Chains A and B, each alone.
Chain A
Amino acid sequence: MSTAPAISGSRDLVTALPEVDDETVRRLHARLGAAAAAAGILEVAYRTVDTPVGPLLLAATEQGLVRVAYALQDHDRVLEQLAATISPRVLRAPQRLDSAAREIEEYFARQRTAFDLPLDLRRSSGFRRSVLAYLPQIPYGTTASYTAVAAAAGNPKAVRAAGTACATNPLPLVVPCHRVVRSDGTLGGYGGGLEAKQILLMLEAER
C-alpha cells in the first residue's frame, strides 16, 4: 500500500511538497539586509520597537534616522511614502536601528533625557527645518508654546506654521514636538494621538 498522495494534477503536486522552512527564509532575509548594507544599496532600513506608547516604526538612511512613526500613523503607509520619496529599496533590517532603539528604550526607562543620534532631515527645509532644529532645545520635562517656538525659530508671527512644522515632524519623540503646547496650557495636537503626548509629558514630569 502506498502512503504517497497521488499526483493527479498540479494542485496535488504542490501540496505534496514539503513546507518551506520559515526559519530559513528569516535567516536568508537577515543575510540579505547585511549584504545590501555592505553593497551600499540599503537605502532605507527599518524596524519596529515596542514602547509604552505602542509600537514605533524606526527608519534610517545611511545618513541617519529619517522617520519615526506611531501605529496611529499607519506603518505600511509610512513605508510606502518612504519608498515613494526616498527609494523603493526599503528593507526590514534592524541592525542600522540598534542605537536608536536602545536610546528610545533608555528614554522610556527614564535613563535618558536627550537623544544622541545622527538624523536625516534632508526632506525638511525652510522654516519647518528651523523649527525642527530648535525643538531639541526645549528642556526635558518642560513645555513651550507654539508662539514661543515660532519666535525661537526666527519668525514670531509664524505661529500657525510652527504648528504645521510640529504636526509634520518626521521624527516625533526623538525631535520632541510633544513638548510644544498651546499658550492656554492645553495640549494642542499630536501625530501619535493626544494620549501618547500626555504619556510622554507625564513620563518626563515624573523624573
Chain B
Amino acid sequence: MAARMATSHSTAPQRLRSVRHEPFEKVVERHGTTVLRVCRAVLAPTAAEDAWSETFLAAMQAYPTLRAGSNVEAWLVTIAHHKAIDQLRADARRAVPVADVPERPSGNGLLDSWESDLWAALKTLPRKQRECVIYHHVAGLPYADVADVLGGTPDAARRAAADGISALRKTYLTSTRERDAEGATT
C-alpha cells in the first residue's frame, strides 16, 4: 500500500461516481497515506498522528453532505491543513508566548524524529513553501486547489513551490554532502 505515491494527478477524483457516495472506508484506504504525509510534513510525529485522526473523524462526520463530484483529496487536505494549524497554534500557546506560529520550526524537536534527510530539509523551508511543495508534489493537488487550501493565487502557489524545490536542491544536497564528508574524515 505504501507503494509509490506518484503525484496523484493520475488518481484524481474526477472518476468518483457523482450520484452516490462510496463507503467512507474507501476514502480512508485511498487517501490515508497522503493525509499522513501532509500532517507529517507540517507537524512532529505524535501531533501528526493526532491531526490525521482529527482530519478523518471530521471528514467522516461531514462526508454524507459532501457535494457529489467534489475533489475528495483536496477536501481532505484542506481539513488536514486546518487541523495541523490548530495543532501548531496549540503547541505555540503551550510553549513560549509567541503571538503567531513561528515561520521556521527551527531545531525545536520537530526535526529530530525523522531519519530522512529529505523530510529534515523540508522542515527547514518557510511554511508556505513547505506547504506548497507538499500539497502539490506529495498530495498531488493542482495549484488551483493548493491556492484554495492556502489562500492566495495559483501563480503564487506555483512560485512558492518552485522556490521550495530549488531551496531543497541546495539544503538537502548540501546537508547530505556535508554528512558524507564528515563520514569520510572519521
Residues of A within 8 A of B (CB): 1-4, 6-7, 10-11, 13-22, 24-25, 28-29, 31-32, 35-36, 39, 41, 44, 46, 79-80, 82-84, 87-92
Contacts and interface: CB of A to CB of B under 8 A. Distances in A.
B25 A28 contact: no
Given A14-B5, A31-B53, A7 B23 contact: no
Contacts of B56: 28, 32
Given A80-B22, A90-B23, A24 B36 contact: yes
Contacts, number: 124
Interface stretch (B74-82, B101-109, B110-118, B146-154): B110-118
B52 interface: yes
Interface string B110-137: 0000111111000000000000010011
Contact of A83 (B4, B20, B114): B20
Contacts of B20: 80, 83-84, 88
Interface string B158-172: 000000010011001
Interface of B: 1-2, 4-7, 20-25, 28, 32-33, 36-37, 49, 52-53, 56-57, 60-61, 63-64, 114-119, 133, 136-138, 165, 168-169, 172-173, 176-177, 180
Contacts of A41: 57, 60-61
A13 B36 contact: no
9 contacts: A14-B137, A17-B5, A17-B138, A28-B49, A32-B56, A32-B60, A83-B21, A89-B63, A91-B24
A25 B30 CA distance: 11
A27 B157 CA distance: 33
Contact of B23 (A11, A28, A88): A88
B6 A14 contact: yes
Given A4-B173, A10-B137, A39-B57, A15 B33 contact: no
B36 to A, nearest CB: 6
A28 B60 contact: no
B136 to A, nearest CB: 8
Contacts of B53: 28, 31-32, 35
B180 A3 contact: yes
B57 A36 contact: yes
B73 to A, nearest CB: 15
B1 A88 contact: no
Nearest to B1: A22
